[in-house]
Amino acid sequence: MGPLGTVHAPSSRQLDLRDAAAIHQAVRQLRPAFVVNCAGYTDVDGAEDKPQAADALNHRAVATLAQACDAAGATLVHFSTDFVFDGAAGRPYTEADEARPLGVYGQTKLAGERAVLASPGAHLVLRVSWLHGPGGRNFFSQVGQWLQEERELSVVADQVSVPNRVEAIAAGLATLLQRAAAAEPGWLAARRGLYHFSAAQAMSRFEFAQREAQRLGAAARARLVPVSAQAFAGRAPRPMASVLDSSRLQAVFEIEIGL
């Protein structure tokens, strides 16, 4: 048993979140103090073609999780996204800013958020952005390897958010849960709601790649070429600047997400 007690982490094969009865049964059986939902339909372009599949996981499953947690007296912690914003504000977004998603992925994530926030029990909705970490297969996880190849590397320079290491997100969440578990009953319920859960350093993918190249030194052999997001435009529109302002997290929980 680790510092967080016993942690059950079922795969999608062990617990298919599209199966409402299975969710209720799992929560009844395990009787968890906390349920952390990291699952999602995260194929942003694919969601445009399969809105029902995206809604099933990003919204309906989340609403069921909230119901099951309320019935069992468990606290639901749900991860959401900076893609609920359209990116037009020209400044970092706070929780008070109106969400206006540009695509189906963001719309379904917003519907999931609202289902959790409308539930009567203790809950947290934590918005994160640009995740990367070991085993990941996105730009941030792979650029270090690409930089070591003799090649030209075109990287988007006009789209900005905050790259977040999954280890830093997990550390922030562990701190929060440990505090909640040690606090008097009702401590977390009194602080329930929506929080931006991000590091503070905003940058483009191009700037991230430049930093990686600096870190690698002589091992970085690729030539970096800045390009516009239009060069890699997928089917789904994406926000051009979706930096999350996490001052509420600091003010309420005194937690800062590290780099």
Closest contact distance (angstroms) between CB of 70 and ligand NAP is 20
- What DSSP element (H or E) covers 107? helix 104-117
Query: DSSP assignment of 22-54, as one string?
Result: HHHHHHHHH--SEEEE------TTHHHH-HHHH
- What angle (nearest 5°) sits at the alpha carbon of residue 58, between those of residues 53 and 59? 100
Of 101 and 188, which CB lies nearer to ligand NAP in the complex structure?
101
Instruction: Using DSSP, state whether 196 is helix, strand or coil.
Output: strand
Query: What's the CA gap between 257 and 124, in Å, rounded?
Result: 16
Q: Please give the Cα distance from 153 to 206 (Å, whole number).
A: 10
Q: Is 93 a catalytic residue?
A: no
Is residue 103 helix, strand or coil? Answer: coil
In 104-219 the beta strands, taken as DSSP E runs, fall at: 123-128, 131-132, 152-156, 160-161, 164-165, 193-196, 203-204
Binding site for ligand NAP (CB under 6 A): 11-12, 15-18, 38-40, 42, 57, 79, 81-82, 109, 128-131
Q: What are phi and psi of 156, to 5 degrees?
A: -65, 130
Residues 6 or more apart in contact with residue 185 via CB below 8 angstroms: none
Interhelix angle 104-117/61-72, nearest 10 degrees: 20
The helix/strand/coil state of 78 is strand
Q: Which is nearer to ligand NAP, 38 or 181 (CB)?
A: 38
CA distance 156 to 124: 33
Catalytic residues: 105
